[in-house]
Amino acid sequence: MAEPLSFSTTLTFDLGLKLLFAFIAGLIGSLAYVSVLYFKFIGRSNQERMLILKPFLDKDGAIHFFKLLWYCCIGGAIAVLFQYPEPTFVPVQSFLLGISWPAIVSQHISGRMKDPTVNEMSELVKPQATKEEEKQAKDDLKIIKSLFTKK
């Protein structure tokens, strides 16, 4: 006959179960996000959607299973971290964390880590010449041209 479970064993079992469910909820959240993109529910154009979906695709343009699993597992793991201190299972929080974990991560990084190329490119393409300089140059040129024709 099996021995009854002790109090601490039950507690650990309950906690483990909560964390497992949180992981699954986070996993589903991440999967839901990729699915919404894949089935074109969000994004203004294919080009915009592909910017996000491209890392999940293999050379043939199909979704790469292990990359998708990797992404979803991180969503699940983050949901577990947030579930741990909670006294009860919070499935909605876990699900939402699974969906939005990239935004949470990017909010907490700073400086050079945070998408330096976009800032650099914006700075690089910002024009330096002003409209006033352009107008002045055109006026000066008119004066010179008039000197060529003036009698």
Partner 1 sequence: MDFETLKKKPVRIITENNILDDAVRLSDDITILLDKTDEKINKNFRDFLIVILNNTNKIQFIITYKELSSFLNTFRDFVSSYKSGKTVNTTKILVQQIKLDQFAIKLDNNAVEENIEIQKALDLIKNNHLEVLVVVDKQNKPVGKIKRSSLKNKFAELID
If the CB atoms of residues 40 and 145 are measured against partner 1, the closer one turns out to be: 145
State the minimum distance, in angstroms, from the CB of residue 114 to partner 1: 14
Burial per residue of 90-114, b for 16 or more beta-carbon CB atoms within 10 angstroms, e otherwise: bbebbbbbbbbbeeeeeeeeeeeee
Q: How far apart are the first and last CA of the chain?
A: 121
State the minimum distance, in angstroms, from the CB of residue 33 to partner 1: 22
Angle at alpha carbon of residue 131, lines to 129 and 134, rounded to 5° = 80
If the CB atoms of residues 47 and 110 are measured against partner 1, the closer one turns out to be: 47
Q: Which amino acid is at 93?
A: Q
Site residues for partner 1 per CB under 8 A: 54, 117, 120-121, 123-129, 133-134, 136-138, 140-141, 143-145, 147-151
State the minimum distance, in angstroms, from the CB of residue 10 to partner 1: 51
